[in-house]
Structure 1
Amino acid sequence: MTKTSNDPGLQTSFTEVALLISGARQRAAQAVNTQLIELYWQVGQYICKKLESAEWGEGVVADLAAYLAKHQPGLRGFTRASLFRMRQFYKTYHQDELVAPLVRQLPWTHNLIILGQSKRPEEREFYLRMAIREQWSKRELERQFKTALFERTVLEPAKSTPSIATTHPAALDVFRDAYVVEFLGLPNKHGEADLHAGLLLRLKDFLAELGRDFCFVGSQYPLQVGHRDFTLDLLFFHRGLNCLVALELKVGRFEPEYLGKLEFYLEALDRDVRKPHENPAIGVLLCASSDDEVVEYALNRSLSPALIAEYQTQLPDKRLWQAKLQEFFNLDAPCAEPQATKNPPKRV
């Protein structure tokens, strides 16, 4: 009996072949990218050594670009400006044995963005690792620079209960103190329903802001305790932490009583929803604003793994954050190396 193309068995076979092709294409593309980055590295190294030895003057680089254009017809990406970028690329990373291998894992455009917009070696390493881990597109990488992610990570680490460090030691490298949701286009005066609906409408963008390992489970997730029904605003699952993540939305400032309700939801999730192989659920209160001292008091005695974060409806003032970071790095500079220089943010 001849099978038709609609046969479930054939469909499975076809899918397996398609996956083989897709995997091979991805590996081929990665191999091409690695070779291309290696070529740019070698060209940059060659030019760098010629210039440093004074064997070449800088004008020779323009002559080289003209020579390549004439003798390699159709060759693109080897203009005078591009050749000098290759030189800068090599000079920036060649002495850093830990960071140099990372650049070969990203496309050239990503490397140029990180090279051009980073102010410090720690910042370059941070964005290299984050771009690899999160698999950011060029557009998302540029957006994260605009959100001042590095500056915010250094200056304002995630606010969490003490139990996070013991139950989920990797969580502090996953969650942030603030999430930027400018893509929602919310007005200054908006309600929780507006925020909730906006996040669902732009869920793909919100998942990108949360992080690659977050998976959406449900909205207005039902929880039944006793004879009463409750609903959780948003429920996610984090693959790396292997746990449910409950997200409660508040359009006003943080109030201590919010944490008690979130803890109640976490208990319900752990008792009735969590699977045996999963870790205890984590809760996140996403508020419009918060008082640091009130947050500290509220979190200090809590036994549940929870965090308090803010959401921001507009891109932050990056220049202001850069100025704050400069002050931070300059603190006690004559006496000792800044702590952040010794221990750059680990968000990888």
Structure 2
Amino acid sequence: MSKINLHADYRLALDEIKQRIQATQIRAVLAVNRELLVLYWHIGQTIVSLQQAQGWGGAVVEQMAADLQNEHPGIQGFSRSSLFAMRQFYLFFSPRFEIVPQPVGQLPWGHIRTILGKIKDVDIALFYTSACIENGWSRPILELQIEQGLHLRQGLAPSNFQLVLPAPQSELAQQTLKDPYVFDFLTLSQKAVERDVENQLVANITRFLLELGKGFAFLGRQYPLEVNSRSYFLDLLFYHTRLKCYVVIELKTGEFKPEYVGKMNFYLSAVDDLLSAEGDQPSIGLILCKDKDRLDVEYALRDVNKPIGVSSFITKEISLEVQAQLPTVAEIEQQLARKL
């Protein structure tokens, strides 16, 4: 038995079977989920039809919830609040769709109830539905993205992508960037410098990557490059798995200045020559500033042939008075040493 287990052909066959089982399980879960949503759609449609035909209000929901729970005492999901949610589900999407919309049918019911509770526009709801499927968001992450208005920020960063990148790449690159980025997990004083921002972003790399979006792989901070026997250091370097290119991020705690573009253009040329391999697309630069003027950005990018975007970012700021009252790292270490 052990010899069979070690044979290469057997290992390959076993791996293939495992993958097929997993794929079948996923398809089964999705199929069951969609059937459940079709049921909820039908229940919502039935409630609306009865209310419209008989002039019944919320009483029909109360009665139906009681009867369904009496008939199926061991089955959850048919409470008064659940039936009202099914009614809302049908009313929300039915003006545009005759059946459960395809992307919506791939979401768990809890995600759908979150969207219904926070969004009033069908197109915006479909945006978050697709984003959920693409990124595999949990409900808390979905709530966070809605609260931070992702749909108002996605793809809005000023850039020169359309001028310097081919159409498919430029569109995907543009949609990858946001404006502004919300770094509400950072706590910075008004006199914070770039290294302070960099330190906290790296310390909160999971939240940082979530805000950047799907596809960003973190390669390092203060990433060294040597050009003409001189050393240069990139604030943050990423590789984007969908764009198939390096992404250089430079952090600026003040307002955007046109000279930042020249520096980024230099960095991108160096990355393309020193790091990019065959098959990689042109490297992209993202300048993150605390503030910017769009006209200044447009003029600065107008005749630049490297793909560069400029976005602002939002953080939680701590006043200088509060900052002064916070213990330093040395003080914290001293306190810990006394307790040990």
Both proteins in one fold, TM over 0.5: yes
Matches within 5 A, 1:184-199: 184-199=186-201
Equivalent residues of 2:104, 2:126 under 8 A apart: no
Q: CA RMSD in A?
A: 2.8
Tell me, what secondary structure is at the counterpart of 2:103?
helix
Q: Which residue of 2 aligns with 1:272?
A: 274
Tell me, what secondary structure is at the counterpart of 1:233?
strand
Q: Which residue of 1 aligns with 2:329?
A: none
Name the amino acid aligned to 1:130.
A
Tell me, what secondary structure is at the counterpart of 1:193?
helix
Quick one: structure 1 residues 134 and 81, their matched pair in 2 at CA, closer, same or farther if it must change by over 3 Å? same
Name the amino acid aligned to 1:307.
G
What stretches of structure 1 of length at least 5 have no aligned partner?
Answer: 316-348
Q: Which residue of 2 aligns with 1:145?
A: 146
Tell me, what secondary structure is at the counterpart of 1:264?
helix
Equivalent residues of 2:222, 2:235 under 8 A apart: yes
For residues 129 and 194 of structure 1, the distance between their equivalents in structure 2, rounded to whole angstroms, comes to 35
Equivalent residues of 1:170, 1:241 under 8 A apart: yes
Q: Which residue of 2 aligns with 1:101?
A: 102
Identity of aligned residues (%): 39
Q: Which moved more, 1:51-60 or 1:242-251?
A: 51-60
Q: Which residue of 2 aligns with 1:174?
A: 176
CA deviation profile, 1:46-80 (whole Å, cap 9, x unmatched): 22222222275531221111111111012212112
CA deviation profile, 1:296-327 (whole Å, cap 9, x unmatched): 21112222100001111149xxxxxxxxxxxx
Q: Which moved more, 1:1-10 or 1:20-29?
A: 1-10
Match for residue 247 of structure 2 among 234, 245, 248: 245
For residues 211 and 9 of structure 2, the distance between their equivalents in structure 1, rounded to whole angstroms, comes to 39
For residues 135 and 250 of structure 2, the distance between their equivalents in structure 1, rounded to whole angstroms, comes to 24
Q: Which moved more, 1:272-281 or 1:45-54?
A: 45-54
Name the amino acid aligned to 2:85.
R
Q: Which residue of 2 aligns with 1:201?
A: 203
**Normalising by the residue count of structure 1, what TM-score does the alignment of the two structures yield?**
0.80
Quick one: structure 1 residues 59 and 101, their matched pair in 2 at CA, closer, same or farther if it must change by over 3 Å? same
Q: Which residue of 2 aligns with 1:70?
A: 70
Q: Which residue of 2 aligns with 1:88?
A: 88
For residues 158 and 123 of structure 2, the distance between their equivalents in structure 1, rounded to whole angstroms, comes to 22
CA deviation profile, 1:29-59 (whole Å, cap 9, x unmatched): 3233222212211211222222222275531
Q: Which residue of 2 aligns with 1:210?
A: 212
Name the amino acid aligned to 1:53.
A
Quick one: structure 1 residues 27 and 220, their matched pair in 2 at CA, closer, same or farther if it must change by over 3 Å? farther
Equivalent residues of 1:214, 1:237 under 8 A apart: yes
Quick one: structure 1 residues 105 and 300, their matched pair in 2 at CA, closer, same or farther if it must change by over 3 Å? same
Q: What is the CA distance between 1:14 and its match in structure 2? A: 7.7
Equivalent residues of 1:168, 1:241 under 8 A apart: no
Q: Which moved more, 1:6-15 or 1:247-256?
A: 6-15
Q: Which residue of 2 aligns with 1:160?
A: 159
CA deviation profile, 1:273-299 (whole Å, cap 9, x unmatched): 111111111100111111222212111
For residues 229 and 31 of structure 1, the distance between their equivalents in structure 2, rounded to whole angstroms, comes to 56
Q: Which residue of 1 aligns with 2:42?
A: 42
Name the amino acid aligned to 1:125.
L
Equivalent residues of 2:253, 2:290 under 8 A apart: yes
CA deviation profile, 1:210-268 (whole Å, cap 9, x unmatched): 11122222222221212112111111122222211111111222111111111111111
Q: What is the CA distance between 1:128 and its match in structure 2? A: 1.8
Name the amino acid aligned to 1:303.
N
Equivalent residues of 2:251, 2:287 under 8 A apart: yes
For residues 20 and 198 of structure 2, the distance between their equivalents in structure 1, rounded to whole angstroms, comes to 39
Quick one: structure 1 residues 182 and 280, their matched pair in 2 at CA, closer, same or farther if it must change by over 3 Å? same
Equivalent residues of 1:180, 1:314 under 8 A apart: no
Q: Which residue of 1 aligns with 2:325?
A: none
| Larger relative contact order (CA 8 Å, sep ≥ 6) | 1
Equivalent residues of 1:160, 1:299 under 8 A apart: yes
Tell me, what secondary structure is at the counterpart of 1:73?
coil
Match for residue 281 of structure 1 among 283, 294, 297: 283
Tell me, what secondary structure is at the counterpart of 2:62?
helix
Tell me, what secondary structure is at the counterpart of 2:54?
coil
Equivalent residues of 1:94, 1:100 under 8 A apart: no
What stretches of structure 2 of length at least 5 have no aligned partner?
Answer: 318-340
Quick one: structure 1 residues 189 and 78, their matched pair in 2 at CA, closer, same or farther if it must change by over 3 Å? farther
- Aligned pair 1:301/2:303, yes or no? yes
For residues 299 and 40 of structure 2, the distance between their equivalents in structure 1, rounded to whole angstroms, comes to 53
Q: Which residue of 2 aligns with 1:132?
A: 133
For residues 84 and 203 of structure 1, the distance between their equivalents in structure 2, rounded to whole angstroms, comes to 40
Name the amino acid aligned to 1:82.
S
Q: Which moved more, 1:32-41 or 1:182-191?
A: 182-191
Tell me, what secondary structure is at the counterpart of 1:101?
coil
Equivalent residues of 1:68, 1:75 under 8 A apart: no
Q: Which residue of 1 aligns with 2:33?
A: 33
Q: What is the CA distance between 1:168 and its match in structure 2? A: 2.2
**Normalising by the residue count of structure 2, what TM-score does the alignment of the two structures yield?**
0.82
Quick one: structure 1 residues 188 and 88, their matched pair in 2 at CA, closer, same or farther if it must change by over 3 Å? same
Tell me, what secondary structure is at the counterpart of 2:48?
helix
CA deviation profile, 1:139-164 (whole Å, cap 9, x unmatched): 111111221222345xx821102535
Quick one: structure 1 residues 280 and 111, their matched pair in 2 at CA, closer, same or farther if it must change by over 3 Å? same
